[in-house]
Structure 1
Amino acid sequence: MENVLKGFISENWNYILLGAIMIMMLLVMIKFIHKYWLSLRYSRSTRMASIAMVIATAVVLCSGWFLVHYVEKRGLVLFTAFAVCVFYFEIRQFREYKQELRYWACHDSLTGLPNRPEFREQLIQELASLPGQAHSAAVLYLDIDRFRNVNDSLGPVVGDELLQQLSERLFTCLNGTGLLARPGGDEFLILFHKVQGIGDVLQMAKEILASFDQPFVVGEYELYITASIGLSMYPDGGEDADTLIRNADTAMYFAKERCHRLHVYNEDMNVKLLERLSIENDIRRGMDLSEFVLFYQPKVGTRSGKLAGMEALIRWNHPENGLIQPCKFIPIAEETGLIVPLGEWVLTEACRQLKAWEAKGFHPIPISVNLSSRQFQKKDLVVRIMDIISKFQINPAWLELELTESCMMQTPELLNHTMYQLKEIGLSIALDDFGTGYSSLSYLSSFPLDVLKIDRGFVKNVTSNSDSAAIVSAIITLAHNLGLKVICEGVETKEQLDFLKGNDCDEIQGYYYSPPIPPNDIEKWISRYPDAEVAGNSYGYVSGEFERQG
């Protein structure tokens, strides 16, 4: 047998060699045609597709030329046998690859979960089986709160790892009771089928939210994440797949807006959502048309009674609705990301106004500006602030940045680094609305703060509620021991002022002295009290309204 094999090889070695060469050429041809097909399938590179097609065509022509001129009958049979084997394995591999492509066309590449089209298809199948059944179906739309801050501050690698951990935790929480999908970004869709009533769905939704109580550990970061869920039930929340998904999405936005974390869809939401979209469009237009203005509220030294500074507060001079308070549009600007350009405009305008007052001969007046958490998460925040200060040539010591407790809860490591950079420039930093958020005393010592502002909610009751009085007194003492200046907001009466004087509060801000007023009125206000003690109730507080005196 061995001699026969050797004889066969010695007699046909040229054909075997030629066949091997042809097989290699054939493999090259198949690979290039495969790449060409992929290029057309995904439109990745027109140039690559053209090159692949030219090379594949050349290989085919060369193969034909070899067959015609050099391969005899036995060689052709041998080559055909080899070619059949090669084609078999290549076609098998190609089918497996097509199956893999089909799978990833229906699933998210990051988490492996079904994507939106696959979720929609399965929801359609589920709804088709519901008529005549005693059970129903529910769609949950889950969105991660402030996920963009994680991506902006810690980078997309951390964000992707967080999403993978989120999907695993959600999948474990569902435990096979529902279909979990990721339509994209930081959003997840959940289908609960064969549910008996909304009570069952609400209970499962609360369990999902409770699973977020434990932090996510991503590398060196320990992240506390919250989520908002919108819920739509068949048939009240929609009778087809697209309507159910859309209405669950609408309910989720309402949950975010009202900090409820969980909201069930009702028909009134569509009207409110249209109003919301209208406000968002109006904000964009208002920024282009310079409809936003700054008002300034004085801060007065508690003991000296002299002007100590002022806070810049944005207002919207709407052409149809008049002057709009920030509580009506800031939440929408925060959610849509418009707060970043809007906040930068506030900072720019405040610096411009400070320089204008200096040019008019006024003594420099320290101005505080509120910064949102979105702004603090921007890696170029320090550079942008330096550019604005340099543009107007103002002393950084006259500029104070205010941030809230909730802002400090998000990526505190990055925030701490940014705050130290701002301090190096010469700016001071204030913690605003202390007592309304997480009120973690550790922040007072771990962050480079200069000022602590006590929220008006505590100040309002200092003369009528012993608990509020004790809290305010304790906060003032603690802040002073940490070397912080204390400002109390919302001071409206002389009794409140006297209490704060008695507890060594440094400055007060509130309607007792003045509401937020336009720049021109501020100039008159300063001219009226250039160096002397500011008179209380200088705007005449009468039944909640203010009238200019004198």
Structure 2
Amino acid sequence: MTKILVIEDEESVRCNIIELLEEEDFEVIAAENGELGVIRAKSEVPDLILCDVMMPQLDGYAVLAELREDLSTGTIPFIFLTARSSRQDWRQGMELGADDYLIKPFTREELLVAIATRLKKSRTIQQRYGKELEILQQQCDRLLNFDETTGLPNLRQLRSHLHQRISNHPPQMETSEQVVVVSIEIDRWKRIEQNLGSLKVQPLIKAIAERLREASDPKDLLAHITKNTFVLIPRGLDSVESVVVKTQTLRDGLSRPFLVEGQEIAIATSIGICFYPKDGADSDALLENAKRAKDYAKRNGGNQYQFYRPEPIVADRRRLNLESSLYYALERSEFQVYYQPQVDLISGQIIGAEALVRWQHPEWGLVSPADFIPLAEETGGIIPLGEWVLLTACRQAKAWANLGFPLLKMGVNLSIRQLNQIDLIERLVAILHQTELDPQWLELELTESMVVHNVEETIRRLQEIRSLGIQISIDDFGTGYSSLGYLNKLPLDTLKIDRCFIDGIDQNPKNAALTQAIIQMADSLKLKTVAEGVETLAELTFLCQSNCHAMQGYFFSKPLKSDDFQQLLVGKKQLPIPG
């Protein structure tokens, strides 16, 4: 049922309009002044708004201006109702984004025709927008999931496929089919590149991909990961012997010389093999262990295959020591929060910061987040650690505001364990109350892969967070498992484009096309974009020309301790925007 919001301070007029619309089977909600109208519009998101112009405190123009600034209400058809009929009044409303202007008194027919016209136009725009968005999503999906040179699935698609295969084969499930990961690397690739030159390498890569296709079953998944690395996920293998036969078939297919522009080229391959669940419980572990097996084959001369063998016991001891130290690190105040500036790409000014946790161990020095964050996730220590980071970052943002610096949006990473906490909303409210930080200056960052499991529940949780006034961004966008279709369902504010797409973007046509498509799609969804890992002037220039909203990266500043970050604010450091 079509929902219409009526904002009118005269009770008799409001009641007449409500009665008229309900007779036409519209769902009607109402507000007796502008402030309540804005609240109801944002909370219930109607299909159309009828609004009086002349109201005390917040008039119709102010209502429209505020709603057009909000992502959730910015495109709702808006019709003014007013007794003022001057051209200047009409012009003011239209410039603010009104869709129509009805002069009081108006007839029942005039009102219904105006509503029908605006709803029809809105549906047409939504259909056109949906088609355009679908095309953009298809383009982005293609760029994100397939290698441009070979047309094969890339690492992102491979991870998604392998994740699905594992989900369909839980360890307790009795099945004869093996889940196998085969990592294939072309040996001495740098020498091949040097001898052939960049123009001839591409045809060779395509030829290698075609040979691997020929040696594979149509049901197998063959992916191209890097220039000289492929991964195969075969189907229908029920024993180690069948895996060996498959591997030998691949090697035989690649053993025949390749003819590239009249030049004959022979290659050798190193191959690593691992099995689920024996060699890894998830897709990332399996891919990593297949790579380790392949690297072992390379170290032993190459041109051979090796099965994965577990790491020496030394690695397990280090993990145990790390886990033990991590347990006490928070109470021993060994963690620090660093802040990386986020810079507006129009003004060049600092507009925010991402809070990043660092572990300064008294004996080992600075421990990489890549080592302790996954361990904290696994052990559950990420919950108290994440809450400490959130509290520290909010307190710091408020402290800078109290010192008179421009208000900065503070980005804080939220882990999957934190998101799934039953009392997450209560914890967020308590932190905001304790630090006295306005929630609009807090942005919680979630990784893409976090939001694709149990999507409906995730949407509900994120809507609860957004209702507090907190903003939400997707971090490392483009590297997760999911399709882009979820973007227009989630209550998001920002997409952060992963650094792997930004690195050398001025020299990488595929990354350039992908980044432009992401920015264009985000713009269609009224989402802001932040480019991560910007390190060169050429990368910055490309992003400015592509209308990216903001950046962070070493070109402007590395992550800093709070005192050093404050010095940037004191000095009013700005990013020189390329002309």
TM-score scaled to structure 2, two decimals?
Answer: 0.50
2:334 corresponds to: 291
Q: Is the counterpart of residue 441 in structure 1 residue 484 in structure 2?
A: yes
Q: How does 1:490-529 map to 2 (within 5 A)?
A: 490-529=533-572
Q: Unmatched 5+ residue regions in structure 1? A: 1-144, 146-162, 176-196, 204-226, 232-250, 538-550
Q: Unmatched 5+ residue regions in structure 2? A: 1-158, 160-166, 179-237, 245-273, 294-306
Q: How does 1:192-203 map to 2 (within 5 A)?
A: 199-200=240-241
Change (3 A) 1:459 1:174: closer
Change (3 A) 1:446 1:173: farther
Structure 1 residue 359 displacement after superposition = 3.0
In 1, distance between residues paired with 2:549 and 2:372? 32
Q: How does 1:128-527 map to 2 (within 5 A)?
A: 170-171=173-174, 173=176, 199-200=240-241, 229=276, 231=278, 252=280, 257=285, 260=288, 266=309, 268-527=311-570
The one-letter code matched in structure 2 to 1:469 is A
In 1, distance between residues paired with 2:479 and 2:387? 25
Change (3 A) 1:519 1:258: farther
In 1, distance between residues paired with 2:424 and 2:243? 41
Change (3 A) 1:289 1:500: same
In 2, distance between residues paired with 1:254 and 1:444? 25
Change (3 A) 1:254 1:421: closer
In 2, distance between residues paired with 1:164 and 1:444? 26
TM-score scaled to structure 1, two decimals?
Answer: 0.52
In 1, distance between residues paired with 2:577 and 2:358? 25
In 2, distance between residues paired with 1:171 and 1:198? 14
SS state of the match for residue 316, structure 1?
strand
Structure 1 residue 291 displacement after superposition = 0.4
Structure 1 residue 438 displacement after superposition = 2.3
Which of 519, 523, 533 is the matching residue for 2:574? 533
Structure 1 residue 199 displacement after superposition = 2.3
Per residue, is there more helix in 1 or in 2? 1
SS state of the match for residue 531, structure 2?
strand
Identical aligned residues as a percent: 39
What's the RMSD between the two structures over aligned residues? 3.3
In 1, distance between residues paired with 2:440 and 2:369? 27
In 2, distance between residues paired with 1:372 and 1:259? 23
In 2, distance between residues paired with 1:253 and 1:284? 24
In 2, distance between residues paired with 1:475 and 1:430? 14
The one-letter code matched in structure 1 to 2:333 is S
Change (3 A) 1:476 1:255: closer
In 1, distance between residues paired with 2:175 and 2:482? 33
Contact kept, 8 Å, 1:230 with 1:265, in 2: the verdict is: no
Structure 1 residue 363 displacement after superposition = 2.8
In 2, distance between residues paired with 1:201 and 1:354? 59
Change (3 A) 1:521 1:465: same
| CA shift digits 1:363-399 (9 cap, x unpaired) | 3211000111121111211111111111111100000
SS state of the match for residue 438, structure 1?
coil
Please tell me whether Structure 1 or Structure 2 has the larger radius of gyration of its CA atoms: 1
